[in-house]
Amino acid sequence: MASSILSDCSTARLLPLRRALLPQRVPRIHPCPALASPRRLFAAARPQLLPRPHRMDSVPAAASSAESATVSADASAKVIDGKLVAKQVREEIAVEVTKMRDAIGIVPGLAVILVGSRKDSQTYVRNKKKACEAVGIKSYEVNLPEDSSEEEVIRHIASFNSDPSVHGILVQLPLPRHMNDENILNAVSIEKDVDGFHPLNIGRLAMQGRDPFFVPCTPKGCMELLHRYGVEIKGKRAVVIGRSNIVGMPAALLLQKANATVSIVHSQTKNPEEITRQADIVIAAVGVANLVRGNWIKPGAAIIDVGINPVDDPESPRGYRLVGDVCYEEASKVAGAITPVPGGVGPMTIAMLLSNTLESAKRIHKFK
Ligand SMILES: NC(=O)C1=CN([C@@H]2O[C@H](COP(=O)(O)OP(=O)(O)OC[C@H]3O[C@@H](n4cnc5c(N)ncnc54)[C@H](OP(=O)(O)O)[C@@H]3O)[C@@H](O)[C@H]2O)C=CC1
Ligand SMILES: Nc1nc(=O)c2c([nH]1)NC[C@@H]1CN(c3ccc(C(=O)N[C@@H](CCC(=O)O)C(=O)O)cc3)C=[N+]21
């Protein structure tokens, strides 16, 4: 569990690549402060793993924190197991894909466009393809050279927009620097925007009484984990650390839609620790290894760690390992529930992509 996954947060070393990408003003690895003896004031959330239909909006509210309160001097947070939930979601999707194929002869299709040859992007795309195959979704892949033009990418998008066998289109990010993300993401038909990155989908997500065609996969995965583990959101204080278009900002919108009172912490926030310490729910999406220490966390809070940060690890076969934005070793002693990295939000992102693709095919073919 906690300590076997991550050693001392203060000694982990970031890989040079990631380090170069990080904002320079941030002291990345903080000295480890002694933790005040943590007391858990409300219990680890109850997992509600089985059985549950694959519907994102119908989750019953969990027991209130007061109802399930416990206090323990030697607390250890409930692990929110994203790998397990993602597997369950994929199984549910596979059943629905088969049902649809048998009933109307339609198989959902996902097109992925990859520009350039970044190793991490290639791995993500390969994993998405494998996940599609495993649930019976057909995948289409286009690989374009790094020096392709924006027009070339947009031509491929246009062709997928009008291809009836494609129900979802994903352009792997980051795009090469010479490309304008906005022009490219705007070209994806909103009905096939399974990433939920089109400005119209984000705009609808932000507005009261409007629904987007798709909710971005990573924030949707975070919410799904909170729901399935019975974490109550309504009336709670939530802090989202990070405000990117693809994770932080939509995560804050979703929490607010679920009736949390939401604060957003970003690189210019003064006293982020103090603000984060008020939160019953924290979603960290920063890209700074171990930024969130144990003393940033309110005892019993639910912590969703989106960060994926490679740090040097000569003992690992790859020479590095992945850690989150939250110092797991410290946080798991204070929090009520926490996602690990790896095995937390990451697998859920892919599961939600499959979910959005299925949802799209159902909507296009009016299949209930
Ligand atoms: N698990 C998954 O499925 C996914 C994981 N990720 C991971 O999540 C992390 C975030 O990704 P993404 O949102 O794309 O990253 P971005 O770099 O686009 O955004 C990072 C955000 O964090 C804020 N930030 C940076 N430094 C600090 C700091 N010291 N204190 C507070 N806020 C800070 C930035 O603030 P400002 O706006 O002021 O610059 C920005 O809003 C990365 O590790 C990424 O790899 C991303 C997508 C999916
Ligand atoms: N158009 C687009 N949509 C995305 O959703 C998108 C993207 N571009 N660009 C990159 C980010 C990142 N991202 C992840 C997906 C899965 C894991 C994942 O499954 N991680 C595993 C670990 C994988 C490993 O060990 O390497 C885990 O956390 O357990 C991580 C990160 C999606 N992104």
Atom of ligand 2 nearest to the CA of 322: 25
Measure the CA–CA gap between 254 and 219, rounded to whole angstroms: 8
The answer to whether the CB of 305 is under 6 A from ligand 2 is no
What was the pLDDT predicted at 15? 57
Sign of CA dihedral 335, 206, 228, 217: negative
Pocket test for ligand 2, best of 85, 124, 181, 326 (most atoms within 8 A of CB): 124
Which ligand approaches the C-alpha of residue 219 most closely?
Answer: 1
pLDDT tens digits, the chain, 368 residues: what are they?
Answer: 333 344 468 755 655 433 333 333 323 333 333 222 333 323 334 444 433 433 333 223 333 333 333 334 456 999 999 999 999 999 999 999 999 999 999 999 999 999 999 999 999 999 999 999 999 999 999 999 999 999 999 999 999 999 999 999 999 999 999 999 999 999 999 999 999 999 999 999 999 999 999 999 999 999 999 999 999 999 999 999 999 999 999 999 999 999 999 999 999 999 999 999 999 999 999 999 999 999 999 999 999 999 999 999 999 999 999 999 999 999 999 999 999 999 999 999 999 999 999 999 999 999 99
What was the pLDDT predicted at 74? 56
The separation between CA 243 and the C-alpha centre of its own chain, rounded to angstroms, equals 13
Tell me the helices (H) and strands (E) count for the chain, helix number first: 12, 11
The answer to whether the CB of 320 is under 6 A from ligand 2 is no
Q: Are 132 and 358 in contact (CB under 8 A)?
A: no
**Atom 19 of ligand 2: nearest residue by CA position:** 346
Q: Are 141 and 85 in contact (CB under 8 A)?
A: no
**Atom 23 of ligand 1: nearest residue by CA position:** 242
The answer to whether the CB of 283 is under 6 A from ligand 1 is no
Kind and range of the H or E element at 337? Answer: strand 337-338
CA 40 / ligand 2 centre spacing (Å): 31
Contacts of 11 (CB under 8 A, 6+ apart): 29
> Which amino acid does the sequence have at 140?
Y
Residue appearing with tokens 């984000």? 202
Pocket test for ligand 2, best of 309, 349, 357 (most atoms within 8 A of CB): 349
b/e per residue, 35-63, with b = 16+ CB within 10 A?
eeebebbbbbbebeeeebebeeeebeebe
The alpha carbons of the chain give a radius of gyration, in whole angstroms, of 20
- The catalytic site residues sit at 128, 172, 195
What was the pLDDT predicted at 251? 98
Length of the chain: 368
The answer to whether the CB of 346 is under 6 A from ligand 2 is yes
The answer to whether the CB of 287 is under 6 A from ligand 1 is yes
What was the pLDDT predicted at 140? 98
Of the candidates 297, 345, 336, 321, the one whose C-alpha atom is nearest the C-alpha of residue 4 is: 321
Checking DSSP bridges between strand 320-323 and strand 309-312, what pairing results, if any?
antiparallel
The backbone torsions φ and ψ at residue 168, rounded to the nearest 5 degrees and listed phi first, read -140, 140
Q: Six-digit token pair at 21?
A: 């990408």
Cα-based angle 243, 244, 247 (whole degrees, multiple of 5): 95
Q: Six-digit token pair at 128?
A: 């998405």
C-alpha distance from residue 150 to each of 28, 145, 189 (Å) = 35, 11, 16
Which ligand approaches the C-alpha of residue 197 most closely?
Answer: 2
Measure the CA–CA gap between 179 and 256, rounded to whole angstroms: 33
Threshold 0.90, pTM exceeds:
no
Measure the CA–CA gap between 309 and 328, rounded to whole angstroms: 13
227: exposed, middle or buried (Cβ count in 10 Å: 0-12, 13-18, 19+): buried
Q: Rounded to the nearest 10 degrees, what angle do helices 217-228 and 82-104 cross at? A: 110
